[in-house]
């Protein structure tokens, strides 16, 4: 269970709520108390249409929060960034995992940082950039195309010195996909297991849920629960969520039922 903490003023789901050090630290404590296994902290919104944030500003946002969390918890912390400079400073402050939405393509120095510190790395698929990714995304076969991309990025990471056992993959729900692309990915999620890496799934509150249910972001809890249950049944190893307590119940109940989806 990966709990999301956006230290940003413009996140799609909770923009501005946790943009200050006290509010972010308080929310981190809440996520941990609710049962998060990993805390994913980011200082740059990657919502559709978002502009990039300079590394210095990202660092200013996230490092004090990581410092604070380390004063009361040893929970694994994932730094959600595509910047090597931010990753380096976050690791010095106590971050343990690198979550890169560009799959090590955004900053040439990111691979070196990850390899030097032997960080577990989450490689995610994104079509284009946050500013452009939702402009008419097209695939021949969305699952095969994303699988091929992730296979190439795994090979790149391992060739650059990252232990293959430290690589996780994320197909990137909502990152350059239509609603139908996202639904197809979820239906066929087990096909990504052929990559041989733990699978991270982040569907929480995303537009695919709004597209199906016609619900605004703050009314997507039950839709998120359905996608989390579907992901767990299809073998997701990590689910990245905003609502930890509720989704932990969903995961536990889904695992207790067991079985596999057809």
Instruction: Give dist(CA 105, CA 234) in Å, integer.
Output: 28
Residue 90 tokens read as: 């976050």
List the chain pLDDT tens, one digit each, 262 residues: 999 999 987 555 555 567 688 889 999 999 999 999 999 999 998 777 677 899 999 999 999 999 999 999 999 999 999 999 999 999 999 999 999 999 999 999 999 999 999 999 999 999 876 666 677 788 999 999 999 999 999 999 999 999 999 999 999 999 999 999 999 999 999 999 999 999 999 999 999 999 999 999 999 999 999 999 999 999 999 999 999 999 999 999 999 998 666 5
Residue 43: what pLDDT?
Answer: 92
Residue with tokens 């021949």: 140
Domain boundaries, the chain: 2-257
**What pTM value is reported for the model?**
0.92
Note the pLDDT of residue 45.
81
pLDDT of residue 50: 72
SS3 per-residue string spanning 175-201: CCCCHHHHHHHHHCHHHHHHHCCCEEE
The CATH code belonging to domain 2-257 is 3.20.20.20
Rg (CA), the chain: 17
Q: What is the pLDDT of residue 155?
A: 98
Estimate to the nearest angstrom the gap between the alpha carbon of 60 and the chain centroid.
21
Catalytically active residues are 206, 240
């Amino acid at each position: 269970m990966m709990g999301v903490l956006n230290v940003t003023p413009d996140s799609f789901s909770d923009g501005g709520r946790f943009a200050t050090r006290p509010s972010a630290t308080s929310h981190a404590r809440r996520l941990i108390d609710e049962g998060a296994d990993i805390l994913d902290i980011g200082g740059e919104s990657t919502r559709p249409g978002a502009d990039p944030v300079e590394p210095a500003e990202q660092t200013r946002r996230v490092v004090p929060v990581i410092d604070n969390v380390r004063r009361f918890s040893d929970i694994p912390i994932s730094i959600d960034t595509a910047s090597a400079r931010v990753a380096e400073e976050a690791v010095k402050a106590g971050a343990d995992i690198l979550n890169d939405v560009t799959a090590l393509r955004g900053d040439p120095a990111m691979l070196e940082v990850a390899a030097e510190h032997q960080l577990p790395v989450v490689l995610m698929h994104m079509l284009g950039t946050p500013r452009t990714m939702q402009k008419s995304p097209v695939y021949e076969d969305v699952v095969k195309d994303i699988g091929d991309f992730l296979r190439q990025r795994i090979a790149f990471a391992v060739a650059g010195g990252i232990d293959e056992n430290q690589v996780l993959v994320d197909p990137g729900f909502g990152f350059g996909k239509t609603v139908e692309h996202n639904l197809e990915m979820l239906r066929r999620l087990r096909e990504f297991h052929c990559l041989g890496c733990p699978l991270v799934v982040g569907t929480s509150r995303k537009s695919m849920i709004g597209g199906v249910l016609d619900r605004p972001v703050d009314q997507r809890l039950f839709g998120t629960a359905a996608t989390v249950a579907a992901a767990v049944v299809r073998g997701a190893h990590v689910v990245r969520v905003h609502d930890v307590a509720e989704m932990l119940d969903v995961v536990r109940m889904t695992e207790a039922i067991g079985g596999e989806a057809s």
